[in-house]
Amino acid sequence: MTPADSDTPASTPDSAASAGSEALTGSAHSAVTGSPAISAASAIPAWRSPTAWCVLVLVFIAAVSLDLWSKDWAFRTVAPQPVVLVYEQVAGNPGYSLPWHPGVTAIAPDLLDFHLVLNHGAVFGIGQGRGPLFIAFTVLAVCTALWVFGKHTSSRSHLSHIGLALVLAGGIGNMYDRIAVGAVRDFLHLFPHRELPWGLHWPGG
């Protein structure tokens, strides 16, 4: 036996078992924590992620297009005659009334029907006649949503991006109506023939 041979430690069952245990522990740790690449990608803020912007923009375009198209469709087809809105007649005139028409059942009686209304205020018709204030509020809400997207979501927060895109689409759709029509068009009438609690009511009803 040479000196070199005597300096080399012999492999024993205990050392092999220890090495195997360390390998399994490392693999389990990687599985739980994820690879460094995935962790780094999750830490990228949304405003620096092309994918996050694509999700936000595509969902926004689809939602605002559906919103405006559905309103145009409803005001052309729900009433017996197409309803044409003139800005000068609608803007600043909360008393402006649409032609009477019966509601069209959409899903089931007393659940949802289509009934044309104009809302000069906010939800439940609150704040009638304050269009400029609501336009300013919408601009503030849009800026806030974009700030939340850029600063408080990551590149992989896709559900948050979809939700923010829907908020943006609703705000922009309503702002378009206030600027182009003079009031927000609506036609979805939930729980018709039922009274809402606390004295609230749907616009136009």
Spell out the domain ranges in the chain: 45-199
How much of the chain exceeds pLDDT 70, in percent? Answer: 68
pLDDT at residue 72 tops 90:
yes
| Cβ contact 63:171 at 8 Å | no
Angle, helices 131-152 vs 158-180, to 10°: value is: 160
**pLDDT tens digits for range 155-197:** 999 999 999 999 999 999 999 999 999 999 999 887 776 666 5
**pLDDT tens digits for range 114-171:** 999 998 865 544 455 566 787 888 899 999 999 999 999 999 999 999 999 999 999 9
Q: Within a 10 A sphere around the Cβ of 30, how many other Cβ atoms?
A: 11
pTM (predicted TM-score): 0.71
Positive/negative CA dihedral, 38, 44, 48, 49: positive
